[in-house]
Structure 1
Amino acid sequence: MEIIPAKLLRIYLKEEDKYEKEPLLELIVKILKKNNVSGVTVLRGLYGHGMRGTSRIDIIRLSMNLPIVIECVEYEDKLMKILPKITDIIGENGLIHILDVEVVKK
Structure 2
Amino acid sequence: MTLPRDAMLLRVFIGEDDKSRDRRRPLYEAFVFEARAAHLAGATVLRGPLGYGHSTRLHSTKILDVAEHLPLVIEIVDTEEKIKAFLPTLDAMMSGGLVTLEKVQVLLYGDSVKHDPA
With the shorter chain as reference, the TM-score category is 0.7 to 0.9
Please tell me whether residue 31 in structure 1 is matched to residue 34 in structure 2.
yes
Separation in 2, partners of 1:32, 1:66: 22
Separation in 2, partners of 1:99, 1:63: 30
Separation in 1, partners of 2:79, 2:58: 33
Following superposition of structure 1 onto structure 2, how do residues 1-106 of structure 1 map, counting pairs within 5 Å? 4-19=5-20, 20-21=22-23, 22-52=25-55, 53-57=57-61, 59=63, 62-92=66-96, 94-105=97-108
Higher strand share: 1
Of 28-37 and 81-90, deviating more is: 81-90
Name stretches of at least 5 consecutive residues in structure 2 with no aligned partner. 114-118
Q: Deviations over 1:28-86 (max 9, x none)?
A: 00100101111211100000011133211264574332100000211011111111110
Residues 59 and 67 of structure 2 are in contact (CA less than 8 Å); yes or no, is this contact kept in structure 1? no
Q: Work out the number of aligned pairs and report it.
A: 103
| Larger RCO (alpha carbons 8 Å, 6+ apart) | 1
Shift of 1:10: 0.5
Q: TM-score, normalised by structure 1?
A: 0.85
Name stretches of at least 5 consecutive residues in structure 1 with no aligned partner. none
Separation in 2, partners of 1:54, 1:85: 29
Q: Which runs of 4+ in 1 moved over 2 A?
A: 57-64
Separation in 2, partners of 1:39, 1:30: 11
Separation in 2, partners of 1:46, 1:99: 24
